[in-house]
Every structure is written in structure tokens, then in C-alpha cells.
Structure 1
Amino acid sequence: MRLLVTRPVEDAEPLKQRLEALGHEVILSPLLVIAPRPAITIPAENYQAVALTSANAVRSLEGGPHLDGLRHLPVMAVGPQSATAARQAGFAQITEAGGDGVGLARHVIASLDPNAGPVLYLSGQDTASDFTGLLERGGLNARRVVVYEAKPAGALAPEAAKAQGVLLYSPRSAKIWLDLVQRHAIPAGAMVHYCLSANIAAILPDAFARRVAARPVDDALLEVIGHA
């Protein structure tokens, strides 16, 4: 099957290799472009942990001065991509849990002591869940620091119209996808839409064919796609 991978370029290449190993042809067309913020201030507090709902948060800090003061902290990451990014950035204590922002928040609330200091949440400008609010309603203090912006792509790859299926990873990227296919008159209704979660699938028009991963992780999405 000819598949369109819409993840940011930083995450797309490993996924491309896995799909090709299953016999698929892959077209890369990122729907979001990651832009690190040039000026970031992390308040000096006695944090008990770092929370990550995206690998791009850690990547956006690489090469700067901020990670040096954080690497001693345990990291709670939403999934394998964010956990791997934290490991590559030099963090040693990493827990992967939740699969999405809501699931990670539940894990953080159940695991941490409300009296042991705030949780540092490194995030993008736009998030799919009110992660900070979830932590605070669960009794934890949270400090959100926005370290990057995910900007919408202005166009799709020239070969996008040839795809038989498209992989969608967030409600926001699904909305960008619908906007671009309408703008460029691409017959997306003829494609199968492989969605990481039901929230993403709900964005699509009723007539669009869709398959939803049983869990919001790459392995589950690849199980839905199967071999070519």
C-alpha cells in the first residue's frame, strides 16, 4: 500500500523504515513543522519530575543551557518517542506511561507526592489536552514551560494525491489535513485514514474510511495497517 506519513520530519524517518519493512511504499508529508522557541526561561524551583507529552519538547532544548540543570530529575514520558528523546538527551530515570496526555496525567498523579515539589511540564504551544490543569486538579503543582511551536504546513508533498492511506497522529494534524486536501482538491475520501486515537478519527467526515489504533502508540497503529 502507498501510505502518506504526516508526522513531523523528526519522527517520520524511523516510521518510514518500519512501514517499508512491512512492504509498504511511503510518502513523507509532514503536517506540522517544529520551531523551537528562541528565548526560554525555566523558573528555578525544586522540581520533583519532568513531564513530557512530546519528544519535540526535549529536542527543542538540545544544544542550549537548560537541560544541564534538569538531567538529575526523573522523566515521565507519554510514549516511546518522548522516552527515547529523553534518553538521548542524557536523562537516566525515565518512565513511559499513558499513551496520551490524559493517560500520562493519571499516571503522574498516582505516582508523585503532592508535597514533594512541582512537576515541570515541557510542552509545545498547542496541546491536545489540558495537561497542566489535569495535574492541578489531581492535587499536584505544575509549571508549564512552552519550548516550541508546531506550525502548520502550507502544502502537501507533490505525490500526496497518489496515496492509498494516510496516517494521522493528532486532532490538530487531522484538521490541517482536511484543510489542505480541500485547498488542493485532493480526493482524500478515497483513502483509508489510519488514526492513532478515536479523538482523531472523530475529526474526519463521516464518509471517510478510517481505522483506529487500539492504543495510542506506533505499534498499535502498525498492527491496524498490517503488511502490504
Structure 2
Amino acid sequence: MHILLTRPLEDCSEMIIKFKSLGNQVSHLPLLRIDKVNYQEINFSNIKGIIFTSANAVKFLDLKNINKNFLCFCVGSATEKKARSVGFQNVIVAEGNVENLKELLLQNFNQKDGTLLYISGETVSVDLDQQLLKEGYDIKRVINYRATHNQNFDDKFVNQLKLNMPDMVYVYSQNSALSLLNFIKMHQSESLWMNTNLMCIGEKTSSILNEIKWKKIFLFNPGEEEFLLYKI
């Protein structure tokens, strides 16, 4: 099976190795570039919990003044792994989506417990901080990275992809979906994806790509990628 992965290499290198070990052909098309955003120094004196909705949020956070015993909420296993790798001990992890993460927060962190620090990218699919404010929480959002669309792609890779279209492509965000749509239109390949299965996180992500004709569209949570191999 030919699988196309679209996340930055750092975020999908383990998956590339795993899929290849299962006998699949894997192509890599990084749709987004992730860059650090400078932010104002954070006062941690009133912070009692921290929220990460991506591994990049952990990666680009200055950790030298943070109490690693903070209650730490992570959106999924990849984010949890990154948080634990830098020393966070008290980690609660959701099943890969922000809705589950919000429920875990409501269950495990009382509004009176103190201020929550929400570390995120510039663009988010769900305004988690605004939702928690409405629930009565004291929450401070800090943006420490941004994702920008890749515009330059290797011509040789593009031509090879057109000759050998993937059976599956994984798309992880609305930003990535927009970037993939731009890629398809830029290279005039709209008619070539009819036998490709589109794997998307969430309906909002998949809806961006609805104008392209796919074989089938599947919704998934992070961690279910290998399971999806056996659904097509």
C-alpha cells in the first residue's frame, strides 16, 4: 500500500518507520512549516495547571522557570510523550481531540484551583480558552509557534507522485487541509485522487477538501493511524 504522510518530518518520522516495517511504501509531503513565535515572559506565580494541544507547544516553550509538577493536560499521546520527555510528571492525556481534553479538564481541575496556562499555536481549530472562560475558569493563552504553508515542492517528487498516487493520505489539521488543497490546485492534479482514501482529523478538516473527489473519507483520532490501514 502507498501511504502519503503530510506532517513535518519530526512529527511523523516514527510513523514512517512503522508503516515501512509493515511493508508499505511511504511518501512524505510536509505541507506546513512550524516556526517559533517569541512571547512575553510568563509569570508562573499563580499558575496551577498547564494545557498543551500539540507537541510543538511543548517544544517551543521556555521551560527553565516552570514547575514540572504542574498538573499538565495533553491533547493526545504524542503531546504527552513530548511533555514527559522534558520532565512533566503529573500528566493527564486525552484521546487525541480537544473536545475530550475539555471534558478531562472539567473533571480534574476546579475553577477555584487557580490559573490555567494554555500553550498553543497561532491557529487553532477549537477556541479552548474561550470555552473554558465561559465555564468560569481563569485561563491565560500563550502563542509560541505558527504554522505556515509550504509553497516550494520538489518537481521530481511531484512528478513521481502523479505517476504513483497514494492509496491513503493523512491530514491532521484545517491548516494542513488548506495547504493540501493549494498543492493539488497548484499542480493541477484535481482528477488524480479518485482512488485515494482521505484520512482526516475531524469533519472541519475534511470539509475543506470536499471539492476534490476521493475514493472514501475517514475521520480519525491521533493514534489510530495504523488501525486505519485495515479499514480500506
Q: Normalised by the size of structure 2, how large is the TM-score? A: 0.87
Q: Deviation per CA, 1:70-90, whole angstroms, max 9, x where unpaired?
A: 322121100001000001111
Out of 162, 165, 172, the position equivalent to 1:163 is 165
Alignment partner of 1:130 is 2:127: yes
Gap runs ≥5 in structure 2 = none
Aligned to 1:173: 176
Alignment partner of 1:145 is 2:149: no
Gap runs ≥5 in structure 1 = none
1:22 CA drift (Å): 2.1
Q: Aligned in 2, Cα 1:193/1:155: closer, same or farther, shift over 3 Å?
A: farther
Q: Aligned in 2, Cα 1:203/1:3: closer, same or farther, shift over 3 Å?
A: same
Q: Aligned in 2, Cα 1:95/1:217: closer, same or farther, shift over 3 Å?
A: same
Aligned to 2:88: 91
Deviating above 6 A after TM superposition, structure 1's stretches of 4 or more consecutive aligned residues are none
Out of 192, 197, 205, the position equivalent to 2:202 is 197
Q: Aligned in 2, Cα 1:93/1:216: closer, same or farther, shift over 3 Å?
A: same
1:227 CA drift (Å): 9.0
Amino acid at match of 1:163: M
Alignment partner of 1:223 is 2:223: no
RMSD over equivalenced CA pairs, Å: 2.1
Give the stretch that moved more between structures: 185-194 or 171-180: 185-194
1:108 CA drift (Å): 0.7
Q: 1:137 & 1:99 partners in 2: Cα distance?
A: 23
Count of aligned residue pairs for this structure pair: 223
